[in-house]
Amino acid sequence: MFGEKPKCSVCSKDIEDGDEVFVKMRYPKRKGFTEIKAYLKNEGRFICENCFHQNKSG
């Protein structure tokens, strides 16, 4: 995910530099931020601001 161009997991829009995004993920069982970073690569899904607000109201 990181190192490649990230995309919104809902609308597949390219995430641009400076865009506000949301990350959807399941909280890992084991704690620790370094683990969360690794975890994001496998489990994290970006959601663009647009789709995030749509989900909220819908």
Bridge partners, 45 (sequence order): 24
Element (H, E) at 45: strand 45-48
Residue length, the chain? 58
* Residue with smaller CB distance to Zn ion, 41 or 55: 55
Report the site for Zn ion in 13-42 (rule: CB under 5 A).
13
* Residue with smaller CB distance to Zn ion, 15 or 40: 15
Rounded to whole angstroms, the Cα distance separating 20 from 16 reads 9
Question: Which one of the spans 14-22, 25-33, 38-46, 50-58 is the region binding Zn ion (CB under 5 A)?
Answer: 50-58
Contact residues toward Zn ion (CB under 5 A) are 8, 10-11, 13, 48, 51
